[in-house]
Structure 1
Amino acid sequence: MFLKKTTGPRTAMLPDGTILTLADLPPAGVRWVARRKAMVVAAVQHGLLAREDAIARYDLSEEEFEAWTSAFARHGSNALKITKLQKFRQL
């Protein structure tokens, strides 16, 4: 089996015990739902993907990714839902 050489780790163990790999990350150009946003934020937090790589790979702005990260850190994945955006914005 052929494995592509990468500079970082190939897997990351999340706090809930699940293993996240680069193959688990959503492809570029998908519709963003809370689960996919949380997956990208977790990959960056656990060192699986560099912040700059995530921003470039998914064509995000610095402000957008920072908003995802801070909302996820404060309120969890529910804060990443568009329908809950106003509820969690100023809390």
Structure 2
Amino acid sequence: MQKQRRYDGVVMGPDGNPLTLDDLPPPGTTRWVIRRKAEVVAAVRGGLLTMEDACQRYGLSEEEFDGWRKSIEKHGLPGLRTTRIQHYRAV
């Protein structure tokens, strides 16, 4: 995943569209589809949120968030699929 550019509270989202804090999943989200995970990772990478803020906002551990980040870096968005997590971790 390439480095995100930050400008005026907006970063490039995982789909190539601008992403703001208002576009992020609501606090307390518990159903994590690929798109939502990728949006949170992009927001942290772009400086909209710190990792600590994201973890607190969504009830994530730092290890869980870091796992999402590493999966995107290594496998792209398909690496975030929970049904394929064992396949990607074994590679």
| 1:43 counterpart residue number | 43
| 2:66 counterpart residue number | 66
| 1:55 counterpart residue number | 55
Task: Extract unaligned runs of 5+ from structure 1.
Answer: 1-7
| 1:77 counterpart residue number | 77
CA apart distance, 1:62: 1.2
> Cα 1:89–1:15, aligned 2, differ >3 Å: closer, same or farther?
closer
Pair member with larger Rg = 1
| 4+ aligned runs moved over 3 Å, structure 1 | 14-17
TM-score (norm. length: structure 2): 0.82
Q: Please, which moves more after superposition, 12-21 or 74-83?
A: 12-21
What is the distance in 2 between the residues matched to 1:85 and 1:35? 16
TM-score (norm. length: structure 1): 0.82
C-alpha RMSD of matched pairs (Å)? 1.8
